[in-house]
Amino acid sequence: MVAWAKLFGNPLKQDIHFAKQMFQELADVGNPEGHMGLGFLYATGLAVNVSQPKALIHYTFGAIGGNTWAQMALGYRYWSGNTVATSCEKALDFYRLVADKVSQGVTFGGGAAIQRIRLLDEVENGYTSGILDNDLIEYYQLLAEKGDVQAQVGLGQLHYQGGRGVDLDYQKALHYFTQAANAGNAMAMAYLGKIYLDGSDEIPASNDTAFKYFKKASDLNNPVGLSGLGLMYLYGKGVEKDYTKAHHYFLLSAEQGWVDGQLQLGNMYFNGLGVKKDYKMANKYFSLASQSGHVLAYYNLAQMHAQGTGMLRSCPTAVELFKNVAERGRWGELLMQAHSDFRSRRYDESFVEYALLAELGYEVAQSNAAFLLDRGEVPMFTKEDALARALLYWGRAAVQGYSAAQVKLGDYYYYGLGTPVDYEVAAAHYQLASEQQHNAQAMFNLGYMHERGLGMQRDAHLAKRLYDRAAETSIDARVPVALALLKLQLVVGLESLQETPLYNAVDLNSTVGSNWDLYLITALAAVLGGIVYFRRPQLPQ
C-alpha cells in the first residue's frame, strides 16, 4: 500500500524511485503486488529503462499469484497483441478470472457508478464532464430541505450510486429517500427497499423493512419496487421462496424497461428456475439488460459466448464482454482520482494513474495519458519523449475505436510529432477515422490533403466531396467547410486562368509562400466576420 501510494502520489508525496525499491523488495520474496508494480514500471519506463520482456515476466508472476491488475494487463496484451502474439484464448482466460471477481462483488444495488471523463472533450471541446460542482449540490440540498421531492430523490440516487463528484454515502441516501418516501414518492420507497435488502456498514440489512418498502412501491406499479419483490421471492429473503411470484414481478418490471427485472428474468430462463430452461429467452433478456449497462448482464452474456451456450461459441465476443466487466471493478475509481489530480494541476500524479489504467486496457485512460503528454503537461518528460509516448497511447486508444485518437495519429504523422513526417500514413489514419467512425475532422483533413496533393493524388473534385461530407456529418464543420470550399473555388478558378495563353503561369508557392492557402482562408474568415459584424441588428440610440 505504501509503494502504490508513493507511485501515485496519493495520499503520500510522489516518489517513483522509492516505490520502485519497495516493489523490488516485495517481488524478491514472491509478492504478487510487487511483481505487478515492477511490471508496470518496466512497461512504461518509469524509474527504470523500458523493458517489455521484463514487464511481461513480472506481470506473469503477478497474475499467477492472483493479482487482479496483472491479470488484466496480460488479458489486454493478449487481446491487443501488444508486445506479445495475439491470443484470444489466453486473453479470455485472464479476463474471465478478473470478471469472476467483479461479478461476485456486485450487490443487488449494482455497486458504485464510475465516471469515464475524456480530458480531450472536457478541455478542448467544452463538453461537460458530468461532475457536479459544490454550488449546484448545495442548491439541490436547499431544495430538498424545503421539501422538493424530485431534489430529494435525485440527491438520494447520487449518494446511493456515487459518481459525478459525489461520494457514496448510504446514510445520506437513506436520509433523502426517507424524506421523499414520506411524501409518497414510489421511486424513493423502492430505493429504500434496495438499501435495506443489501445492508451496509452503516445500515444493517433488514428483510422485513425491505419487503415493506418494496411492497409500497410495487402497489404504485413502480418497476424498481416490483423487481425488488421479485428478488425477495427468488432468493427467499424474509419470505418463502416462490419462483412463480418472482417471475411474475420480474416480468411486470421488465415490461416497463427496468434493467434488474430484465436481468433476473434472464437468470431464471438460463437456470430453469420456475420455468423451462430456454437459452434463447435468457439471451434476449441479458441483451436487453446489457443495453442499460448492467455489469452482470455483460458477465452472463460473456459466459454464454465463451461456452457456446444456446449459440455459436465466439471467443472475440466473450473477451469484449469480459473486458467490459473487468473494467467495472472498484479499481476504476482511480479514474476519478486521476481526473481530480488533473484538475488540481498535479500532472505527474495524474499521468501515472492514467498510465497504470492504460496498461490495464482502459481506452479512456490511454487517450487521457496521451492528452496530457500531447499538451506537454507532464514535467517528468522532455518534449520529444512526451510526444513519442503520446503517439504510442493515441495508437492504443485508436485501435479500441476512439475516432479522435485516430485523427490525432494522423496529425502526428502529418506534422512530424514524435515521428518523421509521413503524409501517406497520416492520410491512412484520417481515412480510417472517416470511414469507420464517420469523423468530420478526418473528412475535412482528407479533403485538404486531396486539395494539396499531400500523400495522395491531387483531386479538387474529391476534395470538394470530402468537405461536403464533413459539413453533413457535423454542424460545427459547416463554417470551416464553407471557407474551404470558397478558397477551393478561387484556387481552381485561378489555375484555370493561368492555363490560358493570355496569362503567364504564376507559382503561388514561390511568390507568396508554401502556406499561401492558409493566408487566403484566414482572409476569407476575416471578410466573413466583417460581414456578420456589420449586418448585425443595430440597437436604437
Neighbouring-strand partners of residue 50: none
422-423-425-427 Cα dihedral, nearest 10 degrees: 160
Residue span(s) of the chain under CATH 1.25.40.10 come to 2-104, 119-321
Q: Which stretches within 327-459 are classed as H helix?
A: 333-343, 347-359, 363-374, 383-399, 403-415, 423-437, 440-452
Residues 161 and 165: their CA atoms lie apart, in Å, by: 11
Phi, psi of 166 (to 5 degrees): -105, 130
Residues 450 and 464: their CA atoms lie apart, in Å, by: 9
Q: If residue 75 lies in a helix (H) or strand (E), which one and from where to where?
A: helix 68-80
CA distances from 433 to 71, 239, 403, 426, 474 (A): 31, 55, 5, 11, 14
CA distances from 257 to 227, 294, 537 (A): 11, 13, 50
Neighbouring-strand partners of residue 166: 163
Which residue type does 224 have? V
| pLDDT in the model for residue 539 | 47
Residues 367 and 376: their CA atoms lie apart, in Å, by: 14
Residue among 81, 102, 83 nearest 91 (CA) = 81
> Cell numbers 482562408 label which residue?
521
Beta carbons of 159 and 176 less than 8 angstroms apart: yes
Residue among 92, 94, 51, 54 nearest 74 (CA) = 94
Which residue type does 523 have? A
CA distances from 438 to 115, 435, 441, 485 (A): 25, 6, 9, 20
Beta carbons of 319 and 95 less than 8 angstroms apart: yes
| 54 class by beta-carbon count within 10 Å (0-12 exposed, 13-18 middle, 19+ buried) | middle
Regarding the domain delimited by 2-104, which CATH topology (the fold level of the hierarchy) does it fall under? 1.25.40
User: pTM for this one?
Assistant: 0.86
Neighbouring-strand partners of residue 163: 166
**Coil vs helix vs strand at 534:** helix
Residue 325 CB coordination number (10 Å): 25
Which residue type does 284 have? K
- Residue-wise pLDDT for 514-539, tens only, equals 565 666 666 666 766 666 555 555 54
Cell numbers placing 336: 476519478
End-to-end CA distance of the chain: 69
Residues 244 and 229: their CA atoms lie apart, in Å, by: 12
Distance of CA 4 to the CA centre of its chain: 24
Sign of CA dihedral 472, 477, 480, 484: negative
Residue among 110, 533, 499, 152 nearest 330 (CA) = 110
Residue among 345, 292, 291, 300 nearest 321 (CA) = 300
Give the HSE-up count for residue 243: Cα atoms under 13 Å, Cβ half-sphere: 10
With a cut of 70, which residues of the chain have pLDDT below it?
A: 107-114, 125-133, 163, 165, 497-525, 527-541
Regarding the domain delimited by 119-321, which CATH topology (the fold level of the hierarchy) does it fall under? 1.25.40
| pLDDT in the model for residue 487 | 84
Cell numbers placing 527: 471578410
| pLDDT in the model for residue 528 | 66
